[in-house]
Structure 1
Amino acid sequence: MGIEPVLNLFVPSRGYWLTPVIIYLNSAIFVLTVLYTGSVMTFDPRALVMLGANYEPFTVAGQWWRLLTSVFLHGGLLHLVFNMIVLANIGIFLEPMLGRWSYAIVYLLTGLLASLTSLFFNVGAVSVGASGAIFGLYGFFLALLTTKLFKPEFRAAFLRNTLGFIAVNVAIGFMVGPIDNAAHLGGLVSGFALGYLWLPLIKRRAMRGRFS
């Protein structure tokens, strides 16, 4: 596999432009964070709180916007790079299938619900990152893979890959810190539920030949 197919994951195209835009937005916010903190690999949690991290004492005090802004902040370079690569790999499947507006709703809603889950289970912790929303997309895809929406051979292959990705990353989250597993699981479960909720709309979209 050459470098061109990988680079194409980050280039907007017909039916696939919102995912690259989200990646660009996260990257731009990361650059602003670097300029604000003077760091690249890791950021001081206090600086992240100032920039909009999900931090329970502030969030529950009325700064509920942190549930969303935290989804677009990252704790360092590797955190950003890993999340954006994973987002591109799931977005290339889901965005054409859902259409940009449904895709945006699923991404933002699962990100918010992931932040809420983190808020409940990680009292006093500083939480940032797109991984809750990304797990939401994987949960959504997993739900679709348990239906007859796809051909059996596609379903079997991607069901194994998706379950493997989820299992490995959840296990890493429990073994290695600091990783916000509560946000991951909150996003995963909410995405799985939304997958079944969205299924009739996806079927109608497929019948109209609007997958691209």
Structure 2
Amino acid sequence: MRERLLSAATQIFRAEGFGAARVEEIAARAGISKTTVYRQFGTKEDLFRAAISHGMEDLRGRIEQLLKPSREFEKTLSLLLRTLTEHMATTDTIEITRVVVGESNRFPDVANGFVRYVNEMLEPVADFLACAARCGTISVQDAPAAARDLLTLVAGSTEVLMGIPTTRAHREQRAAHIQRLLLSAWRYTGPGEAHQPRA
């Protein structure tokens, strides 16, 4: 029942925001009474916090699966960028980001939780980049900053910021463009080139 309630609340808060969402509508969608909603969560505010947290997909787990040490760096980076670009284009991601940004003044704790979620999601990316830098594959002094730069390039397009739908071909083209920028900025050396590992 709690899972059903959180799913219903997540859908409605994403679609309507906090202010317009009605507990009665959430209860009806979950197939329970309004009293049960309050018994489970106490307040609409606490339900909102729980719903947003529930709605954050375990993107870190998916990223960790991609970053296999045995795979060539350029191919791994391509998979990572395509995965993130696709993730940013989903309706769920667009809606949850809009709600968190829109309600950040009223719920700074939710906004801070969202930032922590993003930072935790980037930890395996930073580890991957640090490993590649130690091997001399790329030249990166600050791996966590490089990971944030990567995400900024993916998330910072006008289409993502405005929630404008894009085609898969457009997203793949954008991911490839970002990859070229990063490989150049990080002075990537391919498998057949001389590597100079960092001390």
Q: TM-score normalized by structure 2?
A: 0.30
Q: State the structure with more CA Rg.
A: 2
